[in-house]
Chains A and B, each alone.
Chain A
Amino acid sequence: MHDLLLLLFIFTLAAFLGFELIAKVPSQLHTPLMSGSNAISGITIVGAIVAILDNPVGSVAFLIGIGAMILAAVNVVGGYLVTDRMLGMFKKKDKPAPKA
């Protein structure tokens, strides 16, 4: 019970923090913000690792964990790379960007 209360406490504070973090985002950053935060939601990968480590090799839970790990890795690696690629395109006028 004590644990649960602590988790809820953290969750509530994080929620308020999330609302406060991005107040005014210029519209040109909407896409990168979205795909960047999408990459962060790949934090589920930690849960996948725990499932792999906590279960004996070959057990059903272990195999589900492997599946979760593969999917989360797609989300994490792809999300960060695509965001970085996008942000690399936002250039000011005085610095001409190389043609993509």
Chain B
Amino acid sequence: MEVIINLSYIAASILFIFGIKMLGKADTAKRGNLVSAWGMGLAIVVTCIHPAFADKILWIVLAFAIGGAIGAVAAKKVPMTGMPEMVALFNGVGGLSSVLVGWAEYVRLAKPYWDQARFNEQTDTALLPPLDLLPPLSGFTMAVIFLAVFIGAVTFTGSIYAWGKLSGKLGGAAKTFPAQKACNALLLAVTVLCGVLFPLMPEGEVGLLLLTGATLGALLLGIFGVMPIGGGDMPVVISLLNSLSGLAAAAAGFVIVNNVLIVAGCLVGCSGLILTVIMCKAMNRTLTNVLFSGFGSTQSSQQVEGEMKALSVEDAYYVLESARNVVFVPGYGMAVAQAQHVVKELAELLEENGAEVRFAIHPVAGRMPGHMNVLLAEADVPYEQLCEMDAVNPTMEMVDVAIVIGANDVVNPAAGEDPSSPIYGMPIINVHHARTVFALKRGKGAGFSGLVNTLFFRENTRMIYGDAKATIAGLVGQFKEK
């Protein structure tokens, strides 16, 4: 039986490997997801081969049904604009699940010691075998329990906090307070100290206290870790948390000595790390810088010259009407305004009018990796029209009109020109090289990161204020009338 279970785990691991590989290619992605789902199903079914399964089948089915129903409803109901929050939430519950698996194993192993201690209190201990007849708990097992609990707890609260930021419940900007770094360092030190002491004395009340302390410390660390990170850096945070949830599962695999958890968790941990690195590269920053710099709470020292020049929808229409080459640059604002469908409509009208239309997608536009692609795919924009930054930039001089919809930092020329700017060195989409730039913005304030965007003050930029969806719909109306 043991053999069958382990062979099935190997098969499940292979399915996960193929699944992830296929997810990385456009034409196999959908099948890849299915393949990995089969792997998951196989792993779940063979784990149920157990003498106690018959007695507990109802419990297992019930728990799975409750969780599955919640997950299914959420997955079906979520609008594509809410995708970043959804991914963060799923991530968080996965992390918390690893915490509980670690705790369950600890309670199971430590219970005999607690029972023994209670028994000794109630009776005359002189007549009884002393405590040390129970073999000491394995230090290694306790160490990995700490790891699973620690990584899982950080993932859980970090993801929940990220979810709060993304859904606007906690405000998007980076939050910093004096001595924040010292605070976090102290918190980390206390948590790690608990983690080091715990395997040395896991039995009895001390062990329970240490693991509880480590859990609480890790939960706080998750919150304080994400707090100082600005909204523009969310894609990095989301993919890093995704990676951590995998590592938490792998640690849980060490706890219960289970290969399939280790392999699957480790695959997710490392492929997630690759994605995180891709995101960091797209911002020309290191991971440490993203995590610890309190980005967005600083301001550039450079004064902006010029003024923002507003333009009416009608005048914008006349410019667009004669344009032969148009590029849309979407950002988080397009998601907020839910403007993707009208944008697609405008793109079609422009094409009918004889213009070449493309969408320039910055790798970190939006709040998660690939955010804009998902939105535009939802609006049925064919993905041949979606161009990556490096493909668009060399052709920017030939563009008649670049329409920036709720993107800010990813088109801010300061990234290339102003060494004092916090985003200096980040590769951007060079819309300022286009003949005319339309910047759709709700108001005159700074964007999500709180930075002033020098693009808005340029000679060839026109601001079109108002809700992006209403503005684009107005343009569509103009085209249809004439």
Q: A: which residues have CB within 8 A of B?
A: 3-4, 7, 10-11, 14-19, 21-55, 57, 59-62, 64-93, 96-97, 99-100
Select which of B20, B29, B74, B100 is within 8 A of A68 by beta carbon.
B100
Task: Determine the distance from Cα of A23 to Cα of B380 in the docked complex, in whole angstroms.
Answer: 27
Task: Determine the distance from Cα of A35 to Cα of B370 in the docked complex, in whole angstroms.
Answer: 11
Residue of B nearest to A55 (CB): B108
Q: Does B450 contact A (CB under 8 A)?
A: no
Task: Determine the distance from Cα of A74 to Cα of B250 in the docked complex, in whole angstroms.
Answer: 19
Select which of A40, A67, A75, A84 is within 8 A of B71 by beta carbon.
A75
Contact A4 to B140, CB < 8 A, known contacts A36-B19, A66-B59: yes
Task: Determine the distance from Cα of A49 to Cα of B209 in the docked complex, in whole angstroms.
Answer: 26
26 chain-A/chain-B pairs, Cβ below 8 angstroms: A19-B273, A28-B26, A29-B29, A33-B29, A35-B87, A36-B32, A41-B242, A42-B94, A42-B97, A43-B265, A44-B98, A44-B249, A44-B265, A46-B44, A50-B258, A51-B108, A53-B53, A54-B52, A59-B107, A61-B111, A64-B100, A67-B100, A74-B93, A87-B33, A89-B378, A90-B383
Contact partners of A71 in chain B: CB under 8 A: 67, 93-94, 96-97, 100
Contact indicator B271/A21 (Cβ below 8 Å): yes
User: Among the listed stretches B169-177, B182-190, B361-369, which one makes contact with chain A, having 4 or more residues with CB under 8 Å of it?
Assistant: B361-369
Residue of A nearest to B246 (CB): A41
Contact A74 to B68, CB < 8 A, known contacts A25-B275, A69-B63: yes
Residue of B nearest to A81 (CB): B75
Q: Does B7 contact A (CB under 8 A)?
A: no
Nearest-Cβ distance from residue A69 to partner chain B, whole angstroms: 4
Select which of A27, A40, A42, A65 is within 8 A of B369 by beta carbon.
A27
Contact indicator B20/A80 (Cβ below 8 Å): no
Task: Determine the distance from Cα of A84 to Cα of B249 in the docked complex, in whole angstroms.
Answer: 22
List B254-307 residues whose CB lies under 8 Å from chain A: 254-275, 278
Q: Does B125 contact A (CB under 8 A)?
A: no
